[in-house]
Structure 1
Amino acid sequence: MTKPAITIWSGETIPRLGFGCWAIGGPFWADAIPVGWGVVDDNESKQAIGAALDAGIQFFDTADVYGAGHSERIVGEALKGRNDIFVATKFGNQFNEENKQITGKGADRSYIRKAVQASLRRLQRDVIDLYQLHIDDLDGAQAQETQAALEELVKEGLIRGYGWSSDHPNHSRQWIGGKNYRSIQHDLNLFTPATETLAIVDQHNMLSINRAPLAMGMLGGTYKINHSFGEDDVRSGGAPWLNKMGNVRDADDAQARLEGIRELLKTGGRTTAQGALGWIWAHADRALPIPGFRTVAQAQENAGALQFGPLSVETIQEIDQLVQGELG
């Protein structure tokens, strides 16, 4: 079987799977609200990145705010000297590296110039392959100023292209026509189809970078939907992963629907997570899912999805009928 691959803006073809590095950033906070994934083992994180590289992964996505700079530092250490690997990061959230607190937002020209230099230092790179706005609802003149500043960074050779992390097509389409506007990062999984954003990406030959392909781990088969997480884990309060699973009524509804399709996702010897990634590849030609990871085992399992590729048309139809039926 030919492994899923995609040609990106540089003209290079890479495996159609990236790794998201939010979870390896460790704890950080918005006041008393956790927005990280709990305590991490940095050595394990680096070994997991190594396992991903061994499996052929060439795209890693992070953000300056993940762990208040810590995720970028770990990625930088693990990928030092690997200029053959594509690194994407994000900006827009101001933070304090000492107390791990988010302190505000910033997207004006002056802030962006400071933020990109800080990310370059943490990542230990001379240029960032993809620099993404991490504010999903910027509008009007502010959005235009941000885009102009990003085009300047491309001209200066500090970034190769830019994107927008947003689930709001009415905002992300504001940058259409920008010479170096390359991608939209958005939620996409078998319960969250993101039809409108995918249409924009297809029409303009952009890259769809898919966060929450496993619904914050809930489509990975490791946790029950009602699992209790530690107080420093973003999933501990308000069940934020429910927002990553479309129009579900509650945790019980989400669990029941997942159980209904689990065996279909495991078609052909896949794990549940590998089947969820296979669903994305079967549905969207420009999609690059970026599942998160914290361990070597998770990295190997996610990368292993490339060996299986997309789910079959018949399996996809069955899954979609079950999901849509539950939503009806």
Structure 2
Amino acid sequence: MVTYRYLGNSGLKITEITFGNWLTHGGQVENETAIKSVHAALDAGITSFDTADVYMNGKAEEVLGEALRGQRRESVEVFTKVYWPTGPGGANDSGLSRKHIMESIDGSLRRLGTDYVDLYQAHRYDTETPLEETMQAFADVVRQGKALYIGVSEWTADQLRAGHALAKELGIHLISSQPQYSMLWRVIEPEVVPASEELGVSQIVWSPMAQGVLSGKYLPGKDAPAGSRAADKNASTGGIQRFLTDDVLTRVQQLKPVADELGLTQAQLAIAWVLQNRNVAAALVGASRPEQVAENVKASGVEIPAELMTRIDEILGDVVVRDAAKTAENAPKTRPS
């Protein structure tokens, strides 16, 4: 079964393998298969589920809500997010203004079929809304009982410190950060992780398998397998292209002996690797088929010896992206429309 970890400096426990329905539910796979995948996650001991209002413009939340219907609400942890455009894309249908937050939480709760979410996250930093306005709106959402805790996603260390300070003044708990993190993408390590450790914030990391590249299924000099994410015409929107160079793919293939030594697949090794970071509370892992869930949870509880962690670093070498400035570089400069 899946191991639990505390989320930030709070009493909330979540499963270290958390089920995410970013690219699949409500879109790439049929609803029936998506629901079966959620049920497979529950059967495997996963109780934490992450989604967002922007995923398929609300459809992903609807699918997750349907899949969790009939479950004891207190026995699952449901996370969602707000920021990106939703609805018809009107002037106030995005960002972290009070108007958008207060309207969005009600929409998310309706689609999820629940009275509250355990964690409500700012999906990006809003450069066009005063941070004080955003945090006051989040505080009101918490006081209304519509969310229990607050988190952020892809905020810089400075933004995290400022948001955490305001949250503390307002008496609410900002306890999580949701960044991209994997063996190949380590931009949070120089600044975000130290700031988070200082503040009592945990990471819930997305793309621990680098969009599937760390599974080893993409081979240097070869076309992407049919049906894979890289073969999808929309794959570039998920950021996979940066990892599809022959140099990266060659080095990823060299990780197989390390995985074999631990009795893991390369995908399981990738998930287990991010969980070695003490500041990571959970790895977000999705599934397009129910059987994938059972494979993913085998990464829970795995301890990778220090010598193998060093060997992984030696194999990957300079293809690893470590530049802390990438978080700010990749952030939206203006509110999306």
Question: Are 1:44 and 2:33 counterparts?
Answer: yes
SS across alignment from 2:276: helix
Indicate the residue corresponding to 1:85 in structure 2: 76
SS across alignment from 1:95: coil
Question: Are 1:264 and 2:258 counterparts?
Answer: yes
CA distance in structure 1 between the partners assigned to 2:90 and 2:58 by the alignment: 11
Indicate the residue corresponding to 1:169 in structure 2: 157
Q: How far 1:190 moved relative to its partner?
A: 0.8
Indicate the residue corresponding to 2:138 in structure 1: 150
SS across alignment from 1:283: coil
Q: Please list the CA deviations of residues 128-175 of structure 1 after superposition, one character each: whole Å capped at 9, or x if unmatched.
A: 11111112x424852221111001111111100111111533333321
Q: How far 1:55 moved relative to its partner?
A: 0.7
**Residue 234 to residue 170, structure 1, CA distance change in 2 (3 Å):** farther
Larger deviation, residues 229-238 vs 313-322:
229-238
SS across alignment from 1:275: helix
Question: Are 1:62 and 2:51 counterparts?
Answer: yes
> After the TM superposition, which segments of 4 or more aligned residues of structure 1 sit over 6 Å from their partners?
100-103
Indicate the residue corresponding to 2:324 in structure 1: none
Q: Is the 8 A contact 2:216 2:252 kept in 1?
A: no
CA distance in structure 2 between the partners assigned to 1:208 and 1:271 by the alignment: 24
Larger deviation, residues 120-129 vs 88-97:
88-97
**Which blocks of at least 5 consecutive residues in structure 2 are unaligned?**
322-337
Q: Is the 8 A contact 1:19 1:290 kept in 2?
A: yes
Q: Is the 8 A contact 2:211 2:238 kept in 1?
A: no
Paired letter, 2:86:
F
User: Counterparts of 1:1-328 in structure 2 under 5 Å?
Assistant: 4-8=3-7, 11-27=11-27, 39-80=28-69, 81-83=71-73, 84-96=75-87, 105-135=94-124, 137-139=125-127, 142-177=130-165, 178=167, 179-193=172-186, 194-195=188-189, 196-224=191-219, 226-227=223-224, 233=232, 235-237=234-236, 240-243=239-242, 251-306=245-300, 309-324=302-317
CA distance in structure 1 between the partners assigned to 2:128 and 2:140 by the alignment: 19
**Residue 214 to residue 102, structure 1, CA distance change in 2 (3 Å):** farther
Paired letter, 2:17:
L
**Residue 69 to residue 232, structure 1, CA distance change in 2 (3 Å):** farther
**Which blocks of at least 5 consecutive residues in structure 1 are unaligned?**
28-38
TM-score (norm 2): 0.82
Q: Is the 8 A contact 1:16 1:288 kept in 2?
A: yes
**Residue 42 to residue 224, structure 1, CA distance change in 2 (3 Å):** farther
Q: How far 1:293 moved relative to its partner?
A: 1.4
CA distance in structure 1 between the partners assigned to 2:239 and 2:19 by the alignment: 20
Paired letter, 1:19:
F
Indicate the residue corresponding to 1:31 in structure 2: none
| RMSD (Å) for aligned C-alpha atoms | 2.9
Report percent identity of matched pairs: 27
CA distance in structure 2 between the partners assigned to 1:72 and 1:233 by the alignment: 23
Q: Please list the CA deviations of residues 26-56 of structure 1 after superposition, one character each: whole Å capped at 9, or x if unmatched.
A: 44xxxxxxxxxxx311111111111111111
